[in-house]
Amino acid sequence: MPSIKTDPVQLRYDLQIVASWIPSGAKVLGLGCGEGDLLYFLKHQKQVKGSGIEKNEARVAACIEKGLTVLQGDINAEILDYPDDAFDYVICTLTLQQVYDPASLIRAMLRIGKKGIVSFPNFSHWRIRWQLLLTGNAPKTKQLPYEWYNTPNIRVITLRDFRKFAQKVGIRIVKEVAINTNNQDRRGTVTRRLSDWRGTYGIFMVEKHSSPSKNGVA
């Protein structure tokens, strides 16, 4: 049986924040949606019309068994086929650091969606800075547990880097939050002070620069 999660506390903490940003009834696309925890929650708690894209066959199967609409495929390729503004929100959680061409992906997200939401592990967390400074080894943390030679995280991003990147690719940050999570990433807190140092993850909502800032969705 697929795991059923309708209780927000059972969602990964960054997904709880993302879920709180999505208004009821919105149309949502989840890139790299895994087993569909967020989409399932949004569908049942917020009447969201959601779809997902996921690479792994078993995870896709788990999503479809739960009644979610999910396509098996590569997010960079699958995102190209949707019509403009097909979604209110396009969400890409904890995947940006594994994408070869993040600029193209973000532009594609904002072509097919009115708003995009991305989250990623913050590489400027104090533990990481401290490890590099003291040991001289490539840092390893709970959020980034890999060795340099086997990490899928090919893009090293910090919160500050993302803000610069947003400016460079011409997207507007609608809101951002840094969070500090516990071991299993199930619980956490929003870090309001010194977030560049204390946040384990950053979550950003972005939109096209030209689009007038509207609240809510149609």
| Side-chain half-sphere exposure of 146, counting CA atoms within 13 A | 11
Q: Smallest distance from the beta carbon of 194 to another protein, in angstroms?
A: 43
| Side-chain half-sphere exposure of 87, counting CA atoms within 13 A | 27
What DSSP designation does 142 have?
A: S
**Of 3, 4, 25, 81, which one interacts with another protein (CB under 8 A)?**
81
- Choice between 60 and 205, CB closer to another protein: 60
What DSSP designation does 79 have?
A: G
- Choice between 154 and 218, CB closer to another protein: 218
Q: Smallest distance from the beta carbon of 143 to another protein, in angstroms?
A: 30
What are the CA-CA distances from residue 176 to residues 21, 135, 194, 206 (Å)?
A: 11, 31, 14, 9
- Choice between 47 and 137, CB closer to another protein: 47
Which helix (H) or strand (E) segment is 174 a member of?
strand 171-181
- Choice between 7 and 57, CB closer to another protein: 57
- Residue ranges in 86-145 that form contacts with another protein under rule CB under 8 A: 86
| Side-chain half-sphere exposure of 153, counting CA atoms within 13 A | 19
**Of 7, 9, 83, 183, which one interacts with another protein (CB under 8 A)?**
83
Tokens for 71, please give them: 């396509």
Torsion of CA 130, 135, 138, 143, to 10 degrees: -50
**CB distance 60 to 37 below 8 Å:** no
By CB under 8 A, tell whether 217 contacts another protein: no
Q: Smallest distance from the beta carbon of 81 to another protein, in angstroms?
A: 5
Q: Which residues have a Cβ under 8 Å from the Cβ of 166 and sit 6 or more positions away?
A: 172, 173, 204, 206
Q: How far apart are CA 199 and CA 159, in angstroms?
A: 9
- Choice between 78 and 207, CB closer to another protein: 78
- Choice between 61 and 174, CB closer to another protein: 61
- Residue ranges in 37-76 that form contacts with another protein under rule CB under 8 A: 43, 51, 57-58, 60-61, 63-73
Total number of residues that touch another protein (CB under 8 A): 22
Q: Smallest distance from the beta carbon of 87 to another protein, in angstroms?
A: 10
Q: Smallest distance from the beta carbon of 38 to another protein, in angstroms?
A: 17
Q: Which residues bind another protein (CB under 8 A)?
A: 2, 43, 51, 57-58, 60-61, 63-73, 81-83, 86
